[in-house]
Chain A
């Protein structure tokens, strides 16, 4: 393999080639030598416009067909888990925002849930409702910007992305008035939520929720029937049910392959058993199904939001027993998981009685969904590999941590 992962200077034409890059030999010596007339090896990334961040795919191309693909990640590794082990339980909450920086609310929730399970805290009802509302809003944010990015990868010049971002802004405005920050919300605490909803927030959220279906209809009118989109996505990047289960794929990607597994239904964490909503299932497991899963899930999230916004009770928003500063837990371990917008997001904590967790481990859905990339891309063209990567829905902050 010509792409080296370690630095190995190579003498080519009397000069030294940098590592990770092999020069094509000069033209006259054997027309297309160096490519050997067979396979062209391209390192797509870490600075490539459509790898969604600093992610690298070492692809071997036979013409335009991908014959080998190696995902390389770690460029954004920033020691998240080790930092958390040297920080108090409360101190880790803002760090979780930075995992999947599009969905800080669900990250907060998964972490808070695992600490609550570790300490046996009870969450007041109003806080549970606020959590469901913010988590479902986060799902809307994630899914609509994902579809925008997917279309961008398909070459749609940013138009769907800008429409998606317009709706996303409305939800981010809600988050801002709630937590003071648009993306790094740092809102949830173990035992409840950080602060009370500002006055008029529920009405504002209802307004956003009622106007959202119209946007989705426009979005679908532009995209779902588009002949080019259908031709590009249907039958591309097929992931079989068996492989999806074996590779521990979760989230919309798993359901696009036809597996009925939604942790909101399976675990019924929080108060998800109080709401009626359905889980859309795909059949073919291709990019189009993954796209449709997101659209249909957004519609179901809207139903959930309508119910939650109508039923939200008044009351305290945090367990009075929760001692945020100086939180200390007797030795033990806990794992809690939620259905994040990208899949199963879990936190595993071991306490040794000190103010810091002894072990802190994230189960990131993006990373685990990404491991299957080569199986989906083999035999497809390089243009397909890009949209398959787009349909996996990764955020490198979460992949590399």
Chain B
């Protein structure tokens, strides 16, 4: 089983052995780039068809089922269509920026994908400040939204970009703050170390993932909500709200540029889901000891696909928020809760010293109580739960 787990690592070393010593670092980098692009382009194709199929199921229809068995070759047909479509640049667009915007999305996202640990010893670029690097390049995707919106010289694009910038900057704050708890507990910014900290099993059989602690649970949900907004997914898909502003900053894009944008958004979603798996769901660790024979990368991608499924499920279920509601949700609810969560994580960290029997249960109850109280208290302000249930009169 060990060999199957490490098959990609040994495969890479075997390939590199053909190269002279001096060229091996370059070869290693090229192999990694090829692997990232190959794997995630495939995952993108699979996700588009799965999304349409699952949405079809949710909406009691079939989804695409004409191309290939069960419609599973639909992404190929879509790709060919996208490539052969006319690439329209509006007459008054800022042509250079209009061209650069999709690239400004896809490159940072690909860089962000390169620091995630996909399996045991399988991290493309391993360095100590992996998490910091992820957020640094992740935040620069906002630039592409602005470039696309401004250069298109279209009013809907402008409104969409305006919304996109406001939303992504606002949600960056709870996104980063929710990961601070993990850094505090693990004591490292290295994503590999964060995954290693979640290996091992509580009482010998329960997974010791961060999501199974009070602060980790709250952090995971804060992170996922902010991630939904960061990747412009429903119910936070305001920058490209179809029913309001056509397609937002994507309105004037067609053909291959549109396809690049589309792929960039999905890759962003994979990157941020992969980060949430790494930080909170134990990375490539198996959930139970007896399942450890399954290779680590399979665990990572299973968790990733489950999170993507949740995104799709959400998209098929809920309506969209309004911009002011979105903002107040970020600043009045997520941000204070994330700050509270940092305090809770600190309490959890320092109460490790308590060693008497039942200390773990006590820590659990105390931390969970703080979070529950602040959740209810903050939620009252945002959810307008005071809203009376309306009763309707009838006239005979």
Report which A residues bind B (CB closer than 8 A).
Answer: 13, 15, 23-24, 26-27, 40-42, 48-50, 61, 63-64, 151-159, 161-163, 166, 222, 226-232, 234, 260, 262, 265, 278-284, 288-289, 292, 296, 381-384, 386
Contact yes or no, A159 B317, CB < 8 A: yes
Top 8 closest pairs, chain A to chain B, by CB: A155-B320, A278-B394, A162-B59, A50-B243, A154-B319, A156-B319, A260-B395, A279-B395
Question: In the complex, what residues of A have CB within 8 A of residue B92's CB?
Answer: 13, 23-24, 26
Given contacts A231-B384, A283-B390, A386-B244, contact A40 B159 (CB under 8 A): yes
Q: With an 8 A cutoff between CB atoms, is B196 at the interface?
A: no
Rounded to whole angstroms, the CA-CA distance of A284 and B388 in the bound complex is 13
Q: Evaluate whether A159 and B321 lie within 8 angstroms (CB atoms) in the complex, with A152-B243, A279-B394 already known.
A: no
The CA of A152 and the CA of B91, in the complex, are separated in Å by 32
> How far, in Å, is B342 (CB) from chain A's closest CB?
26
Report chain A residues within 8 Å CB of B58: 159
Q: Find out whether the CB atom of A162 lies under 8 angstroms from the CB atom of B234.
A: no
Structural contact, B387 and A230, CB atoms closer than 8 A: yes
Cα distance, A234 to B60, chains bound together (Å): 29
The answer on a CB contact under 8 Å between A154 and B396 is: no
5 new A-B pairs (CB below 8 Å) besides A42-B156, A231-B321?
A50-B244, A226-B318, A228-B319, A279-B395, A383-B323
**24 cross-chain CB contacts under 8 A:** A27-B94, A40-B159, A42-B156, A42-B159, A154-B320, A155-B243, A156-B320, A157-B55, A157-B59, A158-B59, A159-B316, A222-B317, A227-B383, A229-B319, A230-B384, A232-B322, A232-B325, A234-B387, A279-B395, A280-B392, A281-B393, A284-B390, A289-B390, A292-B390
Minimum CB–CB distance from B89 to chain A (whole Å) comes to: 15
Cα of A13 to Cα of B91 in the assembled complex, Å: 12
Contact with A along B147-190 (1 / 0, CB 8 A): 00010010110110011000000000000000000000000000
A28 to B232, CA, bound (A): 30
Whether B390 and A23, one on each chain, are in contact in the complex, defined by CB atoms closer than 8 angstroms, is no
Chain B hits for A162, CB < 8 A: 59-61
Q: How far does the alpha carbon of A159 sit from the alpha carbon of B94 in the complex, in Å?
A: 38
Residues of chain B lying within 8 A (CB to CB) of residue A281: 392-395
Note all chain B residues with C-beta closer than 8 A to A288. Answer: 390
Q: Name B residues whose Cβ lies closer than 8 Å to a Cβ of A.
A: 55, 58-61, 91-92, 94, 150, 153, 155-156, 158-159, 162-163, 234-235, 237-238, 241-246, 315-325, 383-384, 387, 390, 392-396
Q: Which of B235, B244, B316 has the most CB of A within 10 A?
A: B244
Complex Cα spacing A382 to B163, Å: 12
Residues in A neighbouring B237, C-beta threshold 8 A: 155
Is A42 in contact with B322, judged by CB distance below 8 angstroms? no
Set of chain B residues within 8 Å of A27, measured between Cβ atoms? 94, 150
Which of the residues B94, B155, B234 comes within 8 Å of A157, measured between beta carbons? B234
Contact (Cβ within 8 A) B246 A228 = no
Report which of A158, A232, A265, A292 forms a contact with B321, defined as CB distance below 8 A. A232
Least CB separation from A261: chain B residue: B395
Main secondary structure of the interface of A (DSSP, over half): mixed
What's the least CB distance linking B207 to chain A, in Å? 32
- Residues of chain A lying within 8 A (CB to CB) of residue B317: 156, 159, 222
On chain B, the residues within 8 Å of A41 by CB distance are: 155
Q: How far is the CB of A210 from chain B (nearest CB, A)?
A: 20
Contacts of A232 in B (CB 8 A): 319-322, 325
Q: How far is the CA of A282 from the CA of B395 in the complex (A)?
A: 11
Tell me the smallest distance from the CB of A158 to a CB of chain B, in Å: 6
A39 to B318, CA, bound (A): 32
A228 CB contacts on chain B under 8 angstroms: 235, 318-321
**Which residue of chain B has its CB nearest to the CB of A284?**
B390
Kindly list chain A residues whose C-beta atoms are within 8 Å of the C-beta of B393.
Answer: 280-281, 283
- Hey, which chain A residues are within 8 Å of B324, CB to CB? 381
- Looking at the complex, which one of A23, A49, A279 makes contact with B242 (CB distance below 8 Å)? A49
Q: Would B243 and A49 count as touching, CB distance under 8 A?
A: yes
Min C-beta distance of A352 to chain B, whole Å: 41
Q: How far is the CB of B156 from chain A (nearest CB, A)?
A: 7
* B322→A381 contact, CB < 8 A: yes
Given the known interface contacts A40-B155, A152-B243, the answer about A163 and B394 at a Cβ–Cβ threshold of 8 Å is no
CB distance from A39 to the nearest CB of B (A): 11
Q: Interface centre among B59, B91, B94, B383, by most A CB within 10 Å? A: B59
Instruction: Report the Cα distance A260→B58, complex, angstroms.
Output: 39
B243 close to A278 (CB less than 8 A):
no
A154 to B384: give the CA distance in the assembly, Å.
19
Question: Is B319 a contact partner of A296 (Cβ separation < 8 A)?
Answer: no
Could you tell me the distance in whole angstroms from the C-beta of A67 to the nearest C-beta in chain B? 14
A157 and B315 contacting across the interface, CB-CB below 8 Å: yes
**Which B-chain residue is minimally distant from A225 (CB atoms)?**
B389
Check A381/B395 contact, CB under 8 A, given A42-B156, A228-B318, A288-B390.
Answer: no
User: How long is the Cα–Cα vector from A98 to B235 in the complex, in angstroms?
Assistant: 36
B390 close to A40 (CB less than 8 A)? no
Closest to B153 in A: A24
For residue B151, which residue of chain A has the nearest CB?
A: A27
Contact pick for A278, options B245, B387, B396, CB 8 Å = B396
Shortest CB-to-CB span from B235 to chain A, Å, is: 6
A280 contact set on B, CB distance < 8 A: 392-394
Asked whether B153 lies within 8 Å of A23 as measured between CB atoms, the reply is: yes
Please state if B155 and A42 are interface contacts (CB–CB under 8 Å): yes
